[in-house]
Structure 1
Amino acid sequence: MKLSDYTAFPADIPIIVEDNLFLYPFMISPLFLADEENIRAANDALEHNSLVMVCTAKTGSEHGRDFNAIYTAGVIGSIMRKVDLPDGRVKILFQGMQKGKILKELSTSPLRGTVDIIQTERSEAIKVEATLSVLREKVALLGSLGGQFPPDLIKTIEDNSDVQRITDLVASSMRLKKEQAFQLFVETDDEARLLKLIDYVIEEIESSRLKKEIKTKVHSQIEKVNKEYFLKEQLKQIQKELGTDNQREEEIEEYRKKLEAKKEHMEEDAYKEIKKQIEKLSRMHPDSADANLIQSYLDWVIELPFGKLSKKSLDVLEVKSQLDKDHYSLEKPKERIEEYFAVRELLDKRGIGEKAANGAILCFAGPPGVGKTSLANSIAKALKRKLVRIALGGLEDVNELRGHRRTYIGAMPGRIVQGIIEAGEMNPVVVLDEIDKVARSFRGDPTAVLLEVLDPEQNNKFRDYYLNFNIDLSKVIFIATANEVGSIPAPLRDRMEFIFVNSYTPQEKYEIAKKYLIPQELKKHGLKNSEVAISKPTLQLIISNYTRESGVRNLRRRIADILRKVAKQLLINPTLEKVNISNANLKEYLPKTVFEIDEVDKENSVGIVNGLAWTSVGGDVLKVEAIRIQGKGGIQITGSLGDVMKESAKIALSVVKVLIDNKKIDVPLSIVPTSGLDKEECSKPIEASDVYRRYDLHIHVPEGATPKDGPSAGITMATAIASILCDKKVKSDVAMTGELTLSGKVLPIGGLKEKLIAAYKAKIKTALIPKKNYEKDLDEIPEEVKEKMAIIPVSRIEEVLEFALVK
């Protein structure tokens, strides 16, 4: 079909807009029409058996359907076939015939205009032929480089002599921008059109050469790496030539930005180390093992909160208020904590805050459950600082604190540095929990690291092996907790100031349960105050008969046991409004009793003495029993005793022997055995010393399976031995504690408060304690203990026997 078969030009015909492609006259192309105006234009052309013009939309106006959004030139042709598709689109087969241009705009719905054919201007034949030969040469060269022109297309160009057809073929095969394609499309001068096209082909040749050069660079490395590496390197070279960065470069740049942002707050050695590792990472291949290690290192160190400090200023009144709010009793510990922070606040206010870090390191020491860790929590809360808890119990690997060297697989910073990163500030409150349970093994001695951490003169330059640079810990508030101070190595003890948190009396436990434990557990179990009532006698019974501790941890568990059963009752019985817990029904909620300390015997006995002992869970009343067996003056000691207590027993026996020899205690001669003696011995008069020469003594400290040791049982054992040798009863309501020398002096002991509280719970009426303890430690004893029990100071064994033995 020819144009002349349809109409004469200029002619009024509909216009279809193509969003992406420039069409050329020689093409037969399928077009998919989704736009309503395009479909109407196609239907209009088919109904009137007219031609149609296909114009291309301008860049940025793909969905515009007015004359300003399209190029004013296109291809005039006919619609050979039309098919309606199921998705609502229309497919047409368009045959291009001639280039055309829009002369006049007639309609925009659908697009319709007056169109005329673009006439070409014939240039001088010789110039055109010469230029055409140059184009053929460049097209052949481009075909050999990039494969854009298949051999059959190049052959068509070589064999054809129609300039317009050749230029259209070449232009349609190249990836030209729309504006370039349009300028080439509307050019009417053959020579100028060829020259423009040659320029475009030369640009494409340079681009193809660059691509080939990149491939050559990558190909030189293919012998050393696998296919994946080859593809990544190729992408890397392409991005390098294009001036773009990949994701890894962005990560490295992000490291650099974060480092520079923190530079002013960092020490020089830290900055240099991190910068060196960033530069090393930038030179490494991303898949190498070392690159992964360095990236893991940078992820840790770049998060260190250099320069970030808690802005809250110290206020001792707030510390006092928080401690009073969270803890009942503990007056001495709270007072010492307030003094500690009062000094720091004063130093801050007077402009010498840097020296505040050189104060003592506090260590809360005492039995489990008395509130050591919660005191540290209250301090952090009052100071508005993050709390970092490091559990040291059983820790035996020094690298857990110091950090692993980066050469090891799975290396990471030590727990202290990890805690600072987690806190997000350089001055958190760090609790070193159970510092007395740090172990020592072939992996090193963690206490050596703690010596540096807890020394104010050294911890401003603490070196973590993983970081490989110094970090300042001087602004961190370290608080340690321990059960037994004696288990802490002496050099480490020297770094700390101990605040002893002692056992609670039953009355203190009652107040703590009433004011803190019950309200907290009610909240945890979803119960209201109006739904549960625990009477005062019942709570006191729980404290005395259902817990065995110095603190209140088990008491909290027993309260929780009760409230769980109450919650179940309320759900099973919806009509039940309130549950009352009394002595009568307590066994339904707590069936098992645990007697913490047995009450003392009511009857006086020979050879049985109440001793007072200190354990890791508080004080206890320890009975010492002695019996005499006819023998030759030997002594047997049982009860799983340590070396110190065994020596105490031997010293006690020697002291009692001296007292008997010096007639400071009376020995009834009637108890001296006479059977089994030879005639010579029978003929001699009986003396007081015969009582310990003719008896063997057996001293026992129940319970036999429980290990016991410590320097405070001397006077107790001496009293038991004196009682059995003198056949005098010991007062059952008297308890005692104190060590003994060979000269009969009573030495001071430790743990007095716990021991006297244990005596109070056992209903002891009189407690004998060393005189020096009476002078310096009596003010620490709770008032209710001092009111209900007579506390008598003794300085010699004679005084002990005077009070303890029944006359």
Structure 2
Amino acid sequence: MKLSDYSEFPANIPVIVEDELFLYPFMIAPLFLSDESNIKAASKAIEESSLVIICPTKPSHEGERGFESLYNAGVVGSIMRKVSLPDGRVKVLFQGLARAKVISKVSDSPLVAHVDVINATNVSSLKIDAILEILREKVRTLAGVSNYFPPDLLRTIEENHDYNRIIDLICSTVKLKKEQAYKLFVESNTEKRFLDLIEYLIDEIEANKLQKEIRSKVHTHIEKINKEYFLKEQLKQIQKELGSDTSREEEIEEYRKKLETKKEKMSTEAYKEIHKQIERLSRMHPDSSDASMTQTYLDWALEIPFGQESKKELKISEVENQLDKDHFSLEKPKERIAEFFAVKELMELRGVKDSSGAIICFFGPPGVGKTSLANSIAEALKRPLIRIALGGLEDVNELRGHRRTYVGAMPGRIVQGLIDAKKMNPVVVLDEIDKVAKTGRGDPTAALLEVLDPEQNKEFRDYYLNFNIDLSKVIFIATANDVGKISAPLRDRMEFISISSYTPQEKFEIASRYLIPQELKKHGLKKSELSISKPALKELIHSYTREAGVRNLRRRIADMSRKVAREILEHPEITKVSLTLKNLKDYFDKTVFEIEKTTKVPVLGVVNGLAWTAVGGDVLKIESIRIKGKGTMQLTGSLGDVMKESAHIAYSVVKTLIDTKRLQIEDSNIPLSVKEMEDGIKIDPSEVYKRYDLHLHIPDGATPKDGPSAGIAMVSVISSILSSRKIRSEIAMTGEVSLSGDVLPIGGLREKLIAAHKADMSKVLIPLKNYERDLDEIPNEVKESLEIVPVSRIEEVLELILV
């Protein structure tokens, strides 16, 4: 089929759009048409027995079907066959005949264009033959470095003498970009087509040579790596068979070297145990589980810092300065800590060897600075600080280490702490020692007995290591909230330093000096951007926190800082935020009334007792009512056994006072029956407790309470309700009462008096013995605001309290 069999050109013929590739005149190619416009163009060509032109789309317009998206050149040819496929597409068999150029658009639906054939210009046969020979040479070269040209195609290029056919054959074979293919396709000058194609082939030859060289290098490298790997694996197997695995020997030799460098600083027992395990490892099969376990053991054991200690010279002045820098108030604890280190410094100066470690226990409510005191001590001594949290610890092996027979065994926390510290004399904080749990897996407090005993901790045995560790140079500092929950043998090995509640004035100073500057820094605020007035800070301390320490106060200041930071971001014009009593509520959600203020009005059947709790002191309002009955007493308020017994003792004491006329009862207080009133019978006032039932209640009912120190308060409230005499509400009291009426001493006096001070009490009754021995521990601010009255007998209490 020839072009001359059809109408003369230029002519109007349908256009089929091809997205993927350029077609060339010599091609017979199947085309799959799914686009409606292409299908219409093919149908029109078949119906009118005309040619079609297949034009490729420009790279940035693929998928579009407008004339502006097409190259203005393509292949003119005929559709030999058309078949409709089940999926809606149409398959046509196209035969290319000639290159052609689109002159103008004729129609959009279907696409029809005015097309003319591209005729090659006349060229010098001699010159073009020379260029053709160069082209064939480049094709042969490219074929040698790539797989573009199969042998039969090379033979066709060599034997063919149609210049443009040769160019079209080469262009259809090599990977041309659409723009390059278009330039070569549309060019009518055959010589220029040859030269442009040669230039492209030169570039392609260089690119393929480079790719071939890279592939060759990569392949060689991979082959080398694989060869080395296989050779090494073979060598390992040969060495294993011969028993001469050098890598394993090197590893074991490294363990031996480490052991020898530490030999002089470790005990003989430790050296023997580690040496024995190294020798065992050398005899084991490297892939056995025992070898892995022994290797792990050696890694742990050889990490212990034998003989390594902090060498800083101890100076008591530095310790005192650090404590004063980090903590306000706490005079007694600071004094005790300073005394301890003064002894150590004196022993160092006089060359006396100190073989006992320090075991100090700071105890007191949460948030008063127990752990931070330990931090300050470590900072002053320039020793590493190790914190071991004992809260909820159940398994004794957590401290002593697991025996190596168990899977996942490791040293105990104390040995791990020494390894982390890289020193044998760190400061170790045993936090929350009162919360250690005793279960079926052992009693951790029993392990702590050895750790905290200066006579025993020279040879602390860790089950995992299986040799003794000297802990005598470690400074152990324990912390606890409630000393009563620590086992008696453990308490015997510690020296206790009480850190009790802060007064409101102390909290004010701590907040001003430490908490506010620290929180401003944490929240990215400058000192100039926030100011809080003294009244506002005092109100924050008094009404928005409920604690003995300052932890919640820090949280409230942090809340305030976050709100201030947000305010400054949302309102850039604000340069400073000032907190006063007026706007304090804008920065805090709600107040927490820690202790109810006294009303100063005498009340019947209500007395102010003072209590010690784990979070500081508190004022207990003990209430009582009487009901006609037979002399029974009901107790409510979640009371413990000791407190219930104290209430029964108080009731018996009041009965004795009534019987012996030391508590006067008016006749009007005696309830009479109708018959007794008609008969005019006089009843002895001492029978008052036989005719009333009493109900004693201590709010709040959900909080457990126990202890004997509310004894005199219970006597006072029962006496008030039976004698109908009111109790002075500005007076608070604490003290245990005996059956004979003696007032016995109590504990926690500091916290109780601070609570009375916060509640604005004017007078406090305390046992005489506490007055004589404990008053110097009370802050001056509390002593100045309260009238503290010592009492030794219950009669003195009733004389002062009853109106």
Code of the residue aligned with 1:245 in structure 2: it is: T
Using the size of structure 2 for normalisation, the TM-score is: 0.70
Structure-1 residue corresponding to 2:771: 774
Structure-2 residue corresponding to 1:788: 785
CA deviations 1:614-652 (Å, max 9, x no partner) are 000000000111111111111111111011111111110
**In 2, Cα distance between equivalents of 1:230 and 1:704:** 80
**In 2, Cα distance between equivalents of 1:234 and 1:571:** 72
Structure-2 residue corresponding to 1:797: 794
1:747 counterpart (722, 729, 744): 744
- TM-aligned CA deviation for residue 606 of structure 1: 0.8
1:724 counterpart (721, 726, 742): 721
Code of the residue aligned with 1:570 in structure 2: it is: I
CA deviations 1:228-279 (Å, max 9, x no partner) are 9997432445793xxx822x33222211111110000111110011111111
Code of the residue aligned with 1:270 in structure 2: it is: A
**In 1, Cα distance between equivalents of 2:453 and 2:679:** 72
SS across alignment from 1:605 = coil
Structure-2 residue corresponding to 1:216: none
Alignment of 1:395-434 (within 5 A): 395-434=393-432
Structure-1 residue corresponding to 2:335: 335
2:379 counterpart (378, 381, 385): 381
Structure-2 residue corresponding to 1:112: none
- Cα 1:86–1:637 change in 2 (3 A) is closer
Code of the residue aligned with 2:315 in structure 1: it is: D
Code of the residue aligned with 1:398 in structure 2: it is: V
Contact 1:262–1:306 under 8 Å retained in 2: yes
- Cα 1:599–1:274 change in 2 (3 A) is same
- TM-aligned CA deviation for residue 354 of structure 1: 2.9
**In 1, Cα distance between equivalents of 2:211 and 2:259:** 57
Code of the residue aligned with 2:564 in structure 1: it is: V
Contact 2:612–2:748 under 8 Å retained in 1: yes
Code of the residue aligned with 1:233 in structure 2: it is: Q
Q: Note the residue ranges of structure 1 that are not aligned, 5 or more in a row.
A: 1-82, 92-227
**In 2, Cα distance between equivalents of 1:511 and 1:682:** 71
Would you say 1:233 and 2:237 are equivalent positions?
A: yes
Contact 2:608–2:733 under 8 Å retained in 1: yes
- TM-aligned CA deviation for residue 696 of structure 1: 0.8
2:693 counterpart (692, 696, 710): 696
**In 2, Cα distance between equivalents of 1:684 and 1:437:** 63
Code of the residue aligned with 1:744 in structure 2: it is: G
Contact 1:344–1:353 under 8 Å retained in 2: no
1:545 counterpart (539, 543, 547): 543
Contact 1:239–1:245 under 8 Å retained in 2: no
Structure-2 residue corresponding to 1:36: none
**In 2, Cα distance between equivalents of 1:485 and 1:234:** 66
Structure-1 residue corresponding to 2:285: 285
**In 2, Cα distance between equivalents of 1:307 and 1:285:** 34
**In 1, Cα distance between equivalents of 2:633 and 2:533:** 52
Code of the residue aligned with 2:546 in structure 1: it is: R
Code of the residue aligned with 2:374 in structure 1: it is: A
Contact 1:364–1:372 under 8 Å retained in 2: yes
**In 1, Cα distance between equivalents of 2:419 and 2:679:** 86
**In 2, Cα distance between equivalents of 1:677 and 1:532:** 77
Equivalenced residues, count: 582
Structure-2 residue corresponding to 1:223: none
- TM-aligned CA deviation for residue 586 of structure 1: 1.4
Structure-1 residue corresponding to 2:269: 269
**In 2, Cα distance between equivalents of 1:268 and 1:507:** 57
**In 2, Cα distance between equivalents of 1:405 and 1:334:** 41
Root mean square deviation of aligned Cα: 2.1
**In 1, Cα distance between equivalents of 2:333 and 2:670:** 55
- TM-aligned CA deviation for residue 678 of structure 1: 6.6
SS across alignment from 1:466 = coil
SS across alignment from 1:711 = coil
SS across alignment from 1:606 = coil
Code of the residue aligned with 1:572 in structure 2: it is: E
1:639 counterpart (626, 637, 640): 637
- Cα 1:84–1:750 change in 2 (3 A) is closer
2:493 counterpart (469, 491, 495): 495
Contact 2:631–2:689 under 8 Å retained in 1: yes
- TM-aligned CA deviation for residue 602 of structure 1: 3.4
Code of the residue aligned with 1:791 in structure 2: it is: I
Structure-2 residue corresponding to 1:648: 646
1:470 counterpart (468, 471, 477): 468
Contact 1:386–1:428 under 8 Å retained in 2: yes
Code of the residue aligned with 1:469 in structure 2: it is: F
Contact 1:84–1:90 under 8 Å retained in 2: no
Code of the residue aligned with 1:301 in structure 2: it is: A
Contact 2:600–2:728 under 8 Å retained in 1: no
Structure-1 residue corresponding to 2:552: 554
Bigger mean CA deviation after superposition, 775-784 or 584-593 = 584-593
**In 1, Cα distance between equivalents of 2:578 and 2:597:** 29
Q: Percent identity?
A: 68
Code of the residue aligned with 1:397 in structure 2: it is: D
Would you say 1:711 and 2:708 are equivalent positions?
A: yes
Using the size of structure 1 for normalisation, the TM-score is: 0.70
Code of the residue aligned with 1:264 in structure 2: it is: E
- Cα 1:84–1:527 change in 2 (3 A) is closer
SS across alignment from 2:611 = strand
Contact 1:450–1:492 under 8 Å retained in 2: yes
SS across alignment from 1:637 = strand
Structure-1 residue corresponding to 2:311: 311
- TM-aligned CA deviation for residue 601 of structure 1: 3.0
Code of the residue aligned with 2:337 in structure 1: it is: I
1:758 counterpart (755, 758, 761): 755
- Cα 1:89–1:561 change in 2 (3 A) is closer
Contact 1:674–1:682 under 8 Å retained in 2: no
- Cα 1:652–1:286 change in 2 (3 A) is same
**In 1, Cα distance between equivalents of 2:725 and 2:206:** 123
**In 1, Cα distance between equivalents of 2:731 and 2:212:** 110
Code of the residue aligned with 1:428 in structure 2: it is: P
CA deviations 1:325-380 (Å, max 9, x no partner) are 0000000000000001101111111111333x25x521001000000000000000
Code of the residue aligned with 1:283 in structure 2: it is: R
Alignment of 1:583-622 (within 5 A): 583-622=581-620
